[in-house]
Amino acid sequence: MEDDSSHLAKPEAPNAMEAEAVVDEEERDPETESNYLNEPLLKRNRTLSTSPLALVGAAVSHIESLDYEINENDLFKHDWRSRSRVQVLQYVFLKWLLAFLVGLLTGLVATVINLAIENIAGYKLLAVVGFIREERYLSGLVFFTGINFLLTLSAALLCVFFAPTAAGPGIPEIKAYLNGVNTPNMFGATTLLVKIVGSIGAVSAGLDLGKEGPLVHIASCIASLLAQGGPDNYRLKWRWLRYFNNDRDRRDIITCGSSSGVCAAFRAPVGGVLFALEEVATWWRSALLWRTFCSTAVVVVVLRAFVEICSSRKCGLFGAGGLIIFDVSDVKVSYHSMDLIPVIIIGIIGGLLGSLYNHLLHKVLRLYSFINQKGKLHKLLLALGVSLFTSVCQYCLPFLAQCRPCDPSFREACPTNDRAGNFKQFNCPAGHYNDLATLLLTTNDDAVRNIFSSHTSSEFHHTSILIFFALYCILGLITFGIAVPSGLFLPIILMGSGYGRLLGKLMGPYTNLDQGLYAVLGAASLMSGSMRMTVSVCVIFLELTNNLLLLPITMIVLLIAKTVGDSFNLSIYEIILELKGLPFLDANPEPWMRNLTVGELADAKPPVVPLCGIEKVSRIVDVLKNTNHNAFPIVDEDVLVPGTVATCATELHGLILRAHLLQALKKKWFQTERRRTAEWEAREKFNWVELSERKLKIEQVAVTHQEMEMYVDLHPLTNTTPYTVVESMSVAKAMVLFRQVGLRHMLIVPKYQGAGVPAVVGILTRQDLRAYNILTAFPHLPTHNHQQKHN
């Protein structure tokens, strides 16, 4: 991210805080003493900020921070004042309209995806059943593997060649976006299309991945595209939309999008809102709760409407299920205090397995990123290899299972040869079923439904469930990192339900709980153990299983699993965020941050580059070319009457953004003398809509030799009220401000002003406040308890 930093010679003021400095005095760079006008503007070594690079999609990209601060420069202020009541109403109305549209479009897209997957996978499985019935087992294998291969190929080709950012779940990037990290190409139209088509392909191919994560990303893309009025190159220039050209409003809409996505994935509207609140969003407010709730309500209504339309087989194989996917509402939940013991065991094992899964997945992802870096062909081969392995296992393993006779006590048809159904005949004689085929040779959704099924304690053999569990452990580890859109929810649910049901079989004689319930609790515990969400997982499972009486035991399982998991490692999303190098800012400062002042941080950074209120064009061009800072403090004299000639002094006037400097150059906002302009002049020159633009690069701006000698009045473009902190403030306290208000740049002012003291000691950005970066720059910090946050 940007590493703006300040120079303006910092004299070693005899400051009371100085005595406690953690860095040795000798480590400071003597160059800070030199005059900033002669500063080389090049980055130095031994600085605090790491490079603003992260892994986005497959490539290492330059990422930017978002800015939620209210920019109070003359132009924006004027715009705000001139907004009429009607315009404010337009703005409010548009917010609601967008929330509604996000819900509507997400619901429609989710329906299309479900429809496509159910039909493609369904007809594929029907054909396989046909081969098996004719005992043409080898042809069946070739057909099954071949179709899956082609589906994976299409998904992987799209992801590799058109939108690398569409691979994976996308949830970590959304989480980072809502935390204030803007990753390029994450919410574009290409990404959206590739994600939709790729997701259909990958899920239909029977890979061990879900459409849940991708749906969240898809919904966020929809939200982002709606807010900016269409794809980058073909934006709608609707006047109303210009009010949304700021990071705050886009953040809110993308939050709506992410909750709509979860809602569409699990058909869980309250769970969707809570997921956005608990896992994805960094900033939250009551009004947002209401708006996301509106979006998810629309999603559910759209989904229900289509399920109703499709209920009579009008949509091919889609439309069997209602709003609830894994309905276990007919389980009579009657549990006693003794049943707490298996519940606690499930929680503990879930936590252990979850953290183990996180640990192993981390290793696998590291290995995969090594393979993926070798080129596009390697990526394709990896994805196809995984697909082949998955298909072969899913097809061949059921032959290992013994045929089991249908028990008349089963409530469902047995055996079945349909696409769905709980008792697949597969290679068995009439009146018998193959329990492993029921779990493997089906869509992932149906596999979950089958293993969750209640009143079927004798359906599965130990060994079958064990094989199922082991296979999905392996698949869950090797599938996630390949270059197709892939969600993490379903693999974890599959693994968890496997071990849960297995545990249920083992504890069968000692418990009253249904084995389907064990599978549900196992899935919940593994989700909590790996993703470390509690409330939202709980509500999602409630909405999935439609049984509120499960609530108390689900809660206990989730809390135990999260506690156990947290004592080993970070949540899976945090691990992925770290792996990708996205500078996510944590909610709680580390305890040792209380012992470090922001002044010390500023000392470890390259000096800030201040500009004068009325600056020479050549210096601005110079500064923009030679630094990658995104904001520059403006220093000035205190008395500046418009029209008079000014000199550059050392009082802080405000902060100017790189984008606004570029606009000043592009618009040729030049004058021949150091003169303060009147407010109306700037207002005539600049349009605040243009000022919201961020895409301009210094290379795109041409300045003639003659213009280089002219001056620019930066005052109208300067944010005159940046948030400042005093240099003696602890990093922990400064971080509260930075994160709560959602800053991009935080100015550090000296404790005591006076002659020779600079107006700005430094500028802190997101990167500077990350624990890892600080610890790299200050290796001597006492971090004996830096793992232990006080939450």
Question: Which residues in the 551-610 window bind its own copies by CB under 8 A?
Answer: 551-552, 555-556, 559, 562, 587-588, 591, 594-595
Q: Given the complex with its own copies, which of 45 and 791 has the nearer CB atom?
A: 791
Q: Do residues 629 and 2 make contact, with C-beta atoms less than 8 angstroms apart?
A: yes
Which of positions 420-439 make contact with its own copies (CB under 8 A)? none
Is the omega angle on the peptide bond into residue 758 within 30 degrees of 0, that is, cis? no
Q: Given the complex with its own copies, which of 463 and 785 has the nearer CB atom?
A: 785
Q: Do residues 406 and 431 make contact, with C-beta atoms less than 8 angstroms apart?
A: yes
Secondary structure class of 331 (helix, strand, coil): coil
Q: Given the complex with its own copies, which of 706 and 791 has the nearer CB atom?
A: 791
CA distance 507 to 511: 6
Cβ-based neighbour number of residue 61 at 10 Å? 19
Q: Do residues 641 and 38 make contact, with C-beta atoms less than 8 angstroms apart?
A: no
Q: Do residues 150 and 472 make contact, with C-beta atoms less than 8 angstroms apart?
A: no
Residue 294 in contact with its own copies, rule: CB under 8 A: yes
Q: Given the complex with its own copies, which of 704 and 785 has the nearer CB atom?
A: 785
Residue 81 in contact with its own copies, rule: CB under 8 A: yes
Which of positions 204-233 make contact with its own copies (CB under 8 A)? none
Residue 724 in contact with its own copies, rule: CB under 8 A: yes
Q: Given the complex with its own copies, which of 296 and 765 has the nearer CB atom?
A: 296
Answer for which of 361, 732, 760, 777 binds its own copies (CB under 8 A) is 732
Residue 240 in contact with its own copies, rule: CB under 8 A: no
Q: Given the complex with its own copies, which of 312 and 788 has the nearer CB atom?
A: 788
Which of positions 734-753 make contact with its own copies (CB under 8 A)? 736-737, 740-741, 751-753
Answer for which of 37, 97, 287, 470 binds its own copies (CB under 8 A) is 287
Enumerate residues 6+ apart whose C-beta is below 8 A from 146.
Answer: none
Q: Given the complex with its own copies, which of 81 and 237 has the nearer CB atom?
A: 81
Answer for which of 126, 400, 548, 678 binds its own copies (CB under 8 A) is 548
Answer for which of 538, 575, 664, 731 binds its own copies (CB under 8 A) is 538
Enumerate residues 6+ apart whose C-beta is below 8 A from 497.
Answer: 448, 451, 452, 519, 520, 522, 523
Residue 640 in contact with its own copies, rule: CB under 8 A: yes
Residue 239 in contact with its own copies, rule: CB under 8 A: no
Which of positions 18-77 make contact with its own copies (CB under 8 A)? 69-70, 72, 77
Answer for which of 167, 300, 492, 646 binds its own copies (CB under 8 A) is 300
How many residues belong to the site for its own copies (CB under 8 A)? 91
Q: Given the complex with its own copies, which of 127 and 345 has the nearer CB atom?
A: 345
- The distance of closest approach from Cβ of residue 19 to its own copies in the complex, given in angstroms and rounded to an integer, is 9
- Residues 336-365 vs its own copies: string with x where CB under 8 A? xx----------------------------
Residue 721 in contact with its own copies, rule: CB under 8 A: yes
Answer for which of 24, 638, 673, 684 binds its own copies (CB under 8 A) is 638
CA distance 641 to 144: 79
- The distance of closest approach from Cβ of residue 723 to its own copies in the complex, given in angstroms and rounded to an integer, is 7
Angle between helices 376-396 and 462-479 (to 10 degrees): 170
Q: Do residues 654 and 720 make contact, with C-beta atoms less than 8 angstroms apart?
A: yes
Q: Given the complex with its own copies, which of 85 and 314 has the nearer CB atom?
A: 85
Question: Any alpha helices (H) in 180-275, and if so which ranges?
Answer: 189-204, 212-228, 247-266, 269-275
- The distance of closest approach from Cβ of residue 558 to its own copies in the complex, given in angstroms and rounded to an integer, is 8
Q: Do residues 253 and 211 make contact, with C-beta atoms less than 8 angstroms apart?
A: no
Q: Given the complex with its own copies, which of 373 and 588 has the nearer CB atom?
A: 588
CA-only gyration radius of the chain, Å: 29
Which of positions 486-505 make contact with its own copies (CB under 8 A)? none
Buried b (16+ CB within 10 A) or exposed e, 166-190: bbbbbbbbbbbbbbbbbbebbbbbb
Which of positions 757-786 make contact with its own copies (CB under 8 A)? 784-785
Q: Do residues 180 and 766 make contact, with C-beta atoms less than 8 angstroms apart?
A: yes
Residue 543 in contact with its own copies, rule: CB under 8 A: yes
- The distance of closest approach from Cβ of residue 766 to its own copies in the complex, given in angstroms and rounded to an integer, is 17
Secondary structure class of 181 (helix, strand, coil): strand
The secondary structure of residue 768, as a DSSP letter, is: G
CA distance 169 to 423: 32
Residue 9 in contact with its own copies, rule: CB under 8 A: no
CA distance 246 to 503: 51
Pick the stretch among 191-199, 267-275, 456-464, 490-498 that binds its own copies (CB under 8 A): 267-275
CA distance 10 to 600: 11
Q: Given the complex with its own copies, which of 150 and 551 has the nearer CB atom?
A: 551
The secondary structure of residue 300, as a DSSP letter, is: H
Distances (CA, A) of 593 to 51, 182, 368, 597: 22, 26, 35, 8
Q: Given the complex with its own copies, which of 672 and 791 has the nearer CB atom?
A: 791
- The distance of closest approach from Cβ of residue 507 to its own copies in the complex, given in angstroms and rounded to an integer, is 21
Answer for which of 92, 97, 112, 678 binds its own copies (CB under 8 A) is 92
Q: Given the complex with its own copies, which of 86 and 377 has the nearer CB atom?
A: 86
Question: Any alpha helices (H) in 489-616, and if so which ranges?
Answer: 489-507, 515-531, 535-545, 551-566, 572-580, 598-603
Nearest to 257 by CA among 203, 177, 167, 182: 177
End-to-end CA distance of the chain: 27
Q: Bridge partners of 59? A: 56
Q: Give the max Cα distance, the chain.
A: 99
Which of positions 608-627 make contact with its own copies (CB under 8 A)? none
Q: Given the complex with its own copies, which of 436 and 731 has the nearer CB atom?
A: 731
- The distance of closest approach from Cβ of residue 1 to its own copies in the complex, given in angstroms and rounded to an integer, is 21
